[in-house]
Amino acid sequence: MKEFLKFTFASFIGIAIFATINLLIGIMVIGSILAADSTVPPVPENSVLALNLSGNVVERNNEQDLPIMKYLGTEMDYQGLDMLTEAISKAKDNSQVKGMYVELGPVSFDSPATMIALRRALNDFKKSGKWIVAYGDVVTQGAYYVASAADKLYLNTTGQIEFKGLGRQTTYLKGLYDKIGVKYQTVKVGKYKSFVESNTRTNMSDEDREQRLAYMNGIWNIMTDDIAQSRHIEAARLKQYANDSILMFAQQKDYLQMKLIDGLLYPEEVKAEVQKRLGLDKDDDIMQISARNMALAEQPKKKDKGDEVAVYYAIGDINDMDLSNLTGETGIVGKTMAADLRELADDDDVKAVVIRVNSGGGSAVASEQIHHAVELLKKKKPVVVSMGGAAASGGYMISCGASHIIAEPATITGSIGIFGMIPNISSLMTDKLGITYDEVSTSKYTNAVERLVTAKNNEQELKFLQNSVDWGYDRFISMVAQGRQLTKERVHEIAQGRVWLGKDAVKLGLVDQLGSLDDAVKKAAELAKLDDYHPQAYPELENWTDRLMKQLSDNNNYLESAMRELWGSHYHDWVMLRTASKRNRLQAALPFSIVVE
């Protein structure tokens, strides 16, 4: 027995020592990876900015951006517009960088405005006299739009281009609900407030079709006009290509005849083209710097000096509470953003604030909380709103009180309206399953919410809900009228849930001017009378340790990634169903989103 215990103890000690050694080795490996990640290589002489246009391009990447995630298998394929545009701006001003190489892969943009802003950055890069060469195998429509700004656009000899116009199919669930005995009760203000229609109709209403066609045609016109100018093709001809589906069946030589590309090349031929532009021999290596490293590169710039202009990113759905554990997306939490704005108001180092809004709205209560915080902030320092892909419904509510509003031409904004939506399951539970309900209460309407869900006769409760929505809408248009110096009657004319593009919103007085985030920063500095200033982004991103622990412990990311793949364009519909019980019953939300691929 003694020998057995000795052997067991020795084995235990051996295993413990082995595990400790492996742990130490693991820590050393992770440390070396992190150390390598934290070291940004200098910009090579006679180099090229290598822009890999693939994956998902979003307003701001809040996910991890560490090479270690590749080793852990948890890397998320996202690129932030803020990082890409900063890299392009630095490369433009850096004498070591001679040009840009854009490699086109499967890419989607979270909004047309994001796509247009990236293309604008490429055009700005060219103003320095530097060149851009783009190349791809299978080029999606969004990628082609951005790359059409290049000096030369090449396609693989067996490559393809997608160019089909804009569209979105919407799912209507009323037929399903009728079969199972569920009826969605909705109350709303605004004939264009179509968010509820997917649960209450079997097809698109005339009003919703009208507004969707208006903004899609507006965005399509911007895209075709920009491509036409860069590629020297008539915009009408481009639209005809898409309308006739010519490109779906085109051969590679047809792309040349249509002037959509400058040549059909193999990869080594594209390399030779870049080498020639750099004055290199064919055996010489091309010195490349990635967009990420370019953005992190130390470079003396004016933005590092002077007074601070805070740039606060308000991205995603507006919620009363943090729903990231359900949706996998952080979004905007009303009380959190309001608290952040109060801190910026009290920070004497911050002389002006730019709020970059990219949100289709959400909770009306949370949106009003933020609106109030913006008004308080404006009393202390200038507040400029820069609208990204969307600043609609609740997203417009949090914007309308700013000192000045700047929108992208393709920003989806407006959608000034309120709705409430509650499912009634009485037919399912009582008629089909035989479940009945009875109640006791001290007051007549104690169980009003329960009756909305389970009772067949609840007309009075619905009237109460409609009164809440009417009050919310009147409050909303009052905020807009005060913030935009319009009459309530005029706001009502252009509101009613109607969606507008940024370029149209200027004419209506909902927006002050068109422009970029940089324009908004300049305007904020002008209003604050600053001669020397620099932007500072808020909220601060998580540090690497927080992000690492989150990735190691949060399996929800795998689920969300899988669900995105499975549901595709219907992913957001699934998220709405998943979080319905957690959302405020009064919503100021955009009924749709546009993802450009």
Q: Is 464 left (phi over 0), alpha (psi -120 to 50) or beta?
A: alpha
Q: Which residues pair with 588 in a beta bridge?
A: 362
Which three-class secondary structure state does DSSP give residue 305?
A: coil
The closest alpha carbon to 360, from 513, 195, 114, belongs to 195
For residue 61, give every residue at least 6 positions away whose Cβ sits within 8 Å of its Cβ, in sequence order, or none: 78, 79, 80, 82, 83
Contact 317, 337 (CB under 8 A): no
Of the residues 393, 399, 415, 426, which is catalytic? 393
Give the N- to C-terminal CA distance of the chain in Å, as an integer. 71
Helix (H), strand (E), coil (C) string for 38-67: HCCCCCCCCEEEEEEEEEEEECCCCCCCCC
For residue 187, give every residue at least 6 positions away whose Cβ sits within 8 Å of its Cβ, in sequence order, or none: 419, 420, 421, 462, 465, 466, 468, 469
Contact 150, 122 (CB under 8 A): yes
Pull the structure tokens for residue 145.
Answer: 């739009």
Phi, psi of 422 (to 5 degrees): -135, 130
- Report the half-sphere exposure of 538 (CA within 13 A, side-chain side): 22
The closest alpha carbon to 119, from 47, 218, 43, 51, belongs to 51
Pull the structure tokens for residue 574.
Answer: 């699934």
Helix axes 556-567, 571-579, angle to 10 degrees: 130
Distance of CA 487 to the CA centre of its chain: 32
193 is catalytic: yes
- Please state, as a whole number, how many other Cβ atoms lie within 10 Å of the Cβ of residue 210: 13
Contact 593, 169 (CB under 8 A): no
Of the residues 193, 351, 378, 503, which is catalytic? 193
Pull the structure tokens for residue 224.
Answer: 């075709």
Report the C-alpha gap between 506 and 514 in whole angstroms: 7
Dihedral sign for Cα atoms in the order 498, 499, 504, 510 = positive
Give the amino acid at 400.
C
Report the C-alpha gap between 291 and 299 in whole angstroms: 14
Contact 403, 574 (CB under 8 A): no
Phi, psi of 573 (to 5 degrees): -65, -40
Distance of CA 140 to the CA centre of its chain: 19
Residues with catalytic roles: 193, 393
